[in-house]
Amino acid sequence: MIEEHAIVVSVSGDDAMLEIIRKKPCGLCGKSRGCGISLWGKLFNHKSEFRATNSIGAKVGDMVIVGVDEQALLKGSMKIYGMPLLALLVGALLAMAFLPAGASAIQKDTYAVIGAAVGLVLSLLWLKGHAVGQSWNPSHQPVILRTDNQAVVNLTCERGE
């Protein structure tokens, strides 16, 4: 399981809406000199809220550890990144295979680009349909694993309370 800290925002039946607690990537955030991560964080500050299975009965405001199955994440990543790339290459190669004999270099390139684009678009359409069908697969759903009392202490210390 890949684990992350989150706060329970709302509870509805067996599900809970969670907000990820963003961690600072380095100790320089908020200082005038450094790597600039603080600036990017301020520019693109958005909350990541998502639904997770609340099997432990967490309540609103609880700090929890949420987990996602590693294999499901790995397979999903391979599909999302690998499938379009593979389809792009296969589309270009198939288009080149159907070229008429004696085609010019411009025709070869045109066929390859069109074939690659068709392969990419078809793979993205397949992924969209596949994602809809897999969205309710239990192995793809995040699960609240346990409450995290230590996170409350750490968050309080960071805020200076």
Sign of the alpha-carbon torsion through 95, 98, 102, 107: negative
Mean pLDDT of 104-113: 92
Of all residues in the chain, the percent with pLDDT exceeding 90 is: 32
Contacts of 125 (CB under 8 A, 6+ apart): none
For the chain, the structural domain boundaries read: 2-68+141-159, 71-134
pLDDT of residue 153: 46
- 36-85 pLDDT, tens digit per residue, is 555 666 666 666 788 888 889 888 999 999 988 899 889 889 999 999 99
Q: Which overall architecture, per CATH, does domain 2-68+141-159 show?
A: Beta Barrel (2.40)
Ranking 25-34, 66-75, 102-111, 146-155 by mean pLDDT, the lowest is 25-34
Considering only residues 160 and 75, tell me which one the structure prediction assigns the higher pLDDT.
75
Q: Quick one: tokens of 72?
A: 């499901």
What are residue 57's phi and psi, to 5 degrees? 75, 40
With cut-offs at 50, 70 and 90, classify the pLDDT of residue 120.
very high
Max Cα–Cα distance, the chain, nearest Å: 77
